[in-house]
Structure 1
């Protein structure tokens, strides 16, 4: 197998990478954006409650 004379060409590999990235963003983009938005809101709420509980104690 190491002596193969023909490997995948660079343009073919780059085309596959671009197609993969574009389709991945189309499939997983909206759910990931929603997840990170929710995660940031939870962290902000936890930080807010964490500082208020420590200052009142």
Structure 2
């Protein structure tokens, strides 16, 4: 249709992957770090509360 008779070249694919990873980190990096930090804090608090309940029984 557009004259493409071969598959994509390996360097082109690698370049696209690198660009995608870098741009994804730039766009979603900070919000994801904040989310995981908050998630780990909640899990730590939940495990501490669970540990507290089991020792008090």
TM-score by length of 2: 0.83
Partner of 1:43: 43
* Partner secondary structure for residue 5 of structure 2: coil
User: 2 CA distance for matches of 1:39 and 1:51?
Assistant: 18
Q: 4+ runs of 1 displaced by more than 2 Å?
A: none
User: 1 CA distance for matches of 2:38 and 2:54?
Assistant: 24
Query: Structure 2: 5+ residue runs without aligned partners?
Result: none
Q: CA RMSD in A?
A: 1.3
TM-score by length of 1: 0.83
Q: Provide the aligned length of Structure 1 versus Structure 2.
A: 54
Whether 1:20 aligns to 2:20 is yes
Q: CA deviation at 1:29?
A: 0.7
Q: CA deviation at 1:32?
A: 0.7
User: 2 CA distance for matches of 1:5 and 1:47?
Assistant: 57
